[in-house]
Structures are given as structure tokens and as C-alpha cells.
Amino acid sequence: MSDTDDDPREESATADESSGWSADDADEPPESRHGPDIDVDTAVGYLMWGALVGLGILAVIATAGLYGSLSAIIDVWVARRYQPFARSALNFAVLCVAAAGIVVIARRLRRQ
């Protein structure tokens, strides 16, 4: 071979150096590697708070939509004098489901 022939191994080594990665990085202890320092407990806590807020918003939207839809059904299927009782039972059931979800998430957040 002549001196002008390019060695493919040299090209890949040059490309690796320009990207900031080298084979020596694999031998370094994890403490010396660069990257995000994420605490898992903190990340899970933020996810739980996000779930709590999401469930609260979902409960409000679902309650409004369900109330509108089921009020129309109650108007058709339930006699006029029993409609307030049917609507109250419906609202109470939706509220209980939403409260149960919120309590579960709040207890998990409190444990952290």
C-alpha cells in the first residue's frame, strides 16, 4: 500500500473524536460520564402531581359532559317528578369516582 491510501479505521476514529465519543468513554466510571443527573424519586413525584392535576381536569370535563348527556336521557326515560332524584344520583356517582381517583394519587404523593 502507498502512503496516500486512506485507512478506513483512521476515518472512523476521526469521526468518533469529532462527535465527542471515544472508545475510552466506555471504560470510565459512571460518575465521570456526562449526562442528566435525574433523581428517580423526584421524577416520579412530578409524574404523580401531573397525574393528580390531569385526573382533576378530567373529572371536571367528564362531569360536565356526562351531566349534559345523561340529563337528556333522564328527560326521556324518567318521569318528570323523579328527574331531580335521578340527576342527583348521577352527579353523586360521578363525584365518587373522581374523588376515589384523587384520593389514591394523593396518598401515593403523601408517602413520598
Q: If you write DSSP's letter for every residue of 55-111 in order, what string do you get?
A: HHHHHHHHHHHHHHHHHHHHHHHS-GGGHHHHHHHHHHHHHHHHHHHHHHHHHHHHH
d(CA 33, CA 99): 45
On whether residue 27 sits in a domain, the answer given is yes
Region 35-55 average pLDDT: 86
pTM: 0.43
Identify the pLDDT of residue 16. 47
**Whole-number pLDDT of residue 51:** 93
- Residue 37 in any domain: the answer is yes
| Residue 2 covered by a domain | no
Number of domains in the chain: 1
> Could you tell me the residue range of the domain that residue 97 belongs to?
8-111
**Span of 19-23, 64-68, 77-81, 91-95 with lowest mean pLDDT:** 19-23
Average pLDDT, stretch 95-107? 88
List, for residues 1-34, the tens digit of each pLDDT value: 555 555 555 555 554 455 555 555 555 555 556 6
Is residue 85 included in any domain, yes or no?
yes
Q: Considering the domain boundaries, does residue 3 fall inside one?
A: no
Q: What is the dihedral of CA 5, 8, 11, 16, to 10 degrees?
A: -170
Distance CA 55, CA 102 (A): 7
- Whole-angstrom distance, CA of residue 88 vs CA of residue 67: 10
Contacts of 34 by beta carbon, 8 Å cutoff, 6+ apart: none
Handedness of CA 66, 91, 84, 80 (dihedral sign): positive
